[in-house]
Structure 1
Amino acid sequence: MKKLFLGLAMSAGTLSFAQEQAASSASPVRFGLKAGLNVATISSDDAKAKAGIYGGVFANIPVAGNFSLQPEVLYSGMGAKNKDNPGIRLNLDYISFPVMVQYNIYPAVFLEAGPQFSFAIDKRVKNDTRSMDATRVYNGFDFGLGLGAGYYFEQGFGVTVRYVAGLTNIIENSQGDAIRNSLFQVGIAYKF
């Protein structure tokens, strides 16, 4: 619970910083929406990729020259399928708080990198007939590092891609090898 409050406080602080920057910056802060497809898996020998969705809001804050800071609040469906029995799925739903530093190579093209703080809102193992709560097995917090790129059209619409490598073990009280999330995102965004 403390980690959830920490994440919310960081987001609120970043967004209030964004409002201050808007008043003092020549380039205005732009807010936007984004959504798309997740292709997620976990670092386990019996796991294979599973499709999911993501969506949320962001603030793009110009900080210096071609650099900007982009905090986001996203719903993100992650997890994996069982390699031997694809009907068995691990569904991990998170509220994620990425904080990306973006560098504009050209006015419409950017590269980005930064941390992602994720808080689990649902953890379930499902098959075709049953859904089991996995809250006691999987941690409620995940920390990762994201790398991505994007292109914005003149009308404010853009396409984005991002890879997020999980850095923390998602298994509660694990005695063996660490199991980490791995996520590839492709989607669209719109800046107001």
Structure 2
Amino acid sequence: MKKYCFILLLLITVQVSAQDFYLLPKVGLGLSNITNNDKGNNSTRPGFNFGLGTGLIWNEKVGIETGIYYLMLGNKFSTDYISYTAKLDYLSIPIYAKGYVYKGLFLFAGPQFGFNVVRDDGRDEDCLSDIDRVRKFDFSVGVGAGYQWDFGLQLSASYNLGLIDAWKKYPEEWSASGKRCNNIFQFNIGWTVGF
């Protein structure tokens, strides 16, 4: 499915003028967490994200952007007896609608599809780990805002709200307090290369 979406985007690009298509390499910082964990012992996991986006500007006010990014998600957990970091890293493909509000200021929103590439909780292998129960697919909705300068620099901030449970099955010791979804605040810097 993702291949068809990308091919469709490329075909649409061929029919627009060259200045409306751009590439956008980006890097940034993410602060991720997992919903419905023990709030007293749970904290955010900082991590980097990076990747390459591509976009299409239909007119002065509306555009679409997609790409592929590496996101470091998960959280930190600690008590008096145990401390570990759940590392759930994903290759992520967002499909964002963009609205250009005023000069270089823009807003964006849309779905994001994630594919798990790292599952590690940092605990000893002697322990029974729940990390093997992590889903390989993640789905979220992202919203954000940014600013694009004429010379190419772009800054953005966004929040991704996870919509599906990150785990296939809960470990027996977890309470049934609701879905455990990946959420992340992202702060990115990028450089737009127009064609």
How high is the TM-score relative to the length of structure 1?
A: 0.85
Cα deviation digits, residues 136-156 of structure 1 (max 9, x gap): 221011100000000112210
1:120 matched to 2:116? The reply is: yes
Query: Per the alignment, do residues 26 and 15 of structure 1 end up closer, same or farther by CA in structure 2, a change over 3 Å counting?
Result: closer
Q: State the alpha-carbon separation in 2 of the partners of residues 65 and 153 from structure 1.
A: 14
Cα deviation digits, residues 112-163 of structure 1 (max 9, x gap): 0000000001111015x77997652210111000000001122101111010
Q: What is the number of equivalent residue pairs in this alignment? A: 183
Identity %: 23
Cα deviation digits, residues 4-50 of structure 1 (max 9, x gap): xx33x145324413532xx4348521111011001000011242101
Cα deviation digits, residues 140-188 of structure 1 (max 9, x gap): 1110000000011221011110100000000112483210011000010
Q: One-letter code of the match for 1:12?
A: F
1:17 matched to 2:11? The reply is: yes
Query: Per the alignment, do residues 110 and 65 of structure 1 end up closer, same or farther by CA in structure 2, a change over 3 Å counting?
Result: same
Structure 2 gap ranges (5+): none
> Which residue pairs with 2:75 in the alignment?
80
**Larger relative CO (CA 8 A, sep 6+): 1 or 2?**
2
Q: State the alpha-carbon separation in 1 of the partners of residues 32 and 73 from structure 2.
A: 5
Q: CA contact under 8 A between 1:124 and 1:134: conserved in structure 2?
A: no
With 11-20 and 108-117 compared, the bigger mean Cα shift is at: 11-20
Q: State the alpha-carbon separation in 2 of the partners of residues 93 and 40 from structure 1.
A: 11
Q: 1:65 Cα deviation (Å)?
A: 4.3
Q: State the alpha-carbon separation in 1 of the partners of residues 131 and 9 from structure 2.
A: 31
1:141 matched to 2:133? The reply is: no
Q: CA contact under 8 A between 1:34 and 1:56: conserved in structure 2?
A: yes
Structure 1 gap ranges (5+): 1-5
> Which residue pairs with 2:34 in the alignment?
42
- Structure 1 segments, 4+ long, off by >6 Å, are 129-133
1:63 matched to 2:58? The reply is: yes
Task: Say which SS state the counterpart of residue 136 (structure 1) adopts.
Answer: helix
Cα-Cα RMSD? 2.4
Query: Per the alignment, do residues 115 and 179 of structure 1 end up closer, same or farther by CA in structure 2, a change over 3 Å counting?
Result: same
How high is the TM-score relative to the length of structure 2?
A: 0.84
Q: CA contact under 8 A between 2:121 and 2:131: conserved in structure 1?
A: no
